[in-house]
A and B are shown apart, each in its own frame.
Chain A
């Protein structure tokens, strides 16, 4: 018995070989654990790092989390080249092979339903940001990075007028952004086979400029993807002060769990 079992994803059996240089989580290249009609993709990981207490601790360490997340994603990404994987959440760990098999057995029907739904599909991420308009930088004493400093108000009344102008312009921008994001989400949801909203991203973690107002994932068939991407690309110039970012293609991480609600 060599440690615990870290499960990346579940899929249908596939013929092609997985890309060979995958390091895997805990530097254990992924292995296939077949059971019935399904295959679990696993790595053997040390209990010292992946036991419950250790894991809890590690998950609060950004460096460890980053390394593990990237290793995990690398494996799932490699799987998308040869099959349609059903990704599991980070750090799904079992005691041994038997534990994994029992899980596969118990959830077989749900997995098959989801795998059918995800078959031949990928996920695209779309994020919308509102960028502060340089002309409205609030603090009159601080010039905006890329614009002329706002003229210093000549009087108290002048200051209030300036603030009102900035406040209104700001409101306008936000209402346009809301309309834009809502419209975009509706259009893309319509075009995709599935849509899911994630929480807006924290700018301190992402380092992104502006405020993230839409963080969505769309499930799209592989052969419909080119059109989908072009559609997103066309919207990019539609709204001044608003930025659209596209990421992908991803494995269908955001759509793997829906069977939970369907009941088992």
Chain B
């Protein structure tokens, strides 16, 4: 019978560690980054008066649906918004922590 030689050191992250969930976390983090970038650009263009009403409506709907879908997927994997982030060491977090 194989037992660990010494008790596992406790790390702060006590959540169950599945490969699928980790992959999802990574994927969702990237998608979230894109969503934020797209949203920021959309808002900028709206402010500049760059878009027709129709375009605004379509972009707004798309972003809203994407937002909803993200929430669904996050909930399904038990991920909070704060979990979707990557620490780039000295460069700080990938996504703003707000």
Question: Taking beta carbons and an 8 Å cutoff, which residues of A are in contact with B?
Answer: 60-64, 130, 132, 138-142, 153, 155-160, 163-164, 167, 170, 174, 203-205, 211
6 contacts between A and B (CB under 8 A): A60-B9, A62-B9, A153-B64, A156-B64, A163-B39, A211-B97
Q: A142-B71, A153-B60, A156-B59 are in contact. List 11 more A-B contacts (CB 8 A).
A: A60-B9, A140-B64, A156-B57, A156-B61, A156-B63, A159-B61, A160-B42, A160-B60, A163-B63, A203-B82, A204-B12
1/0 contact string of B29-62 vs chain A (CB within 8 Å): 0000000000100110011000001001111111
Main SS at interface, chain B = helix
A-B contact count (CB 8 A): 67
Determine chain A's interface SS by DSSP, over half rule. helix
Residues from chain B with a CB closer than 8 A to the CB of A174 are 98
Q: Decide: A164 and B43 in contact? CB cutoff 8 A.
A: yes
Task: Give chain B's interface residues, CB within 8 Å of chain A.
Answer: 9-12, 39, 42-43, 46-47, 53, 56-64, 67-68, 71, 81-82, 97-98
Residue of B10, B47, B58 touching A61 (CB-CB under 8 A): B10
> A132's contact among B9, B60, B67, B98, by CB below 8 Å, is which?
B98
Q: If the complex has contacts A139-B71, A139-B81, A141-B67, are A160 and B98 also in contact, measured as CB distance less than 8 A?
A: no
A155, B12: Cβ atoms closer than 8 Å: no
Chain B residue with the shortest CB-CB distance to A171: B98
Say whether A156 contacts B10, CB under 8 Å.
Answer: no
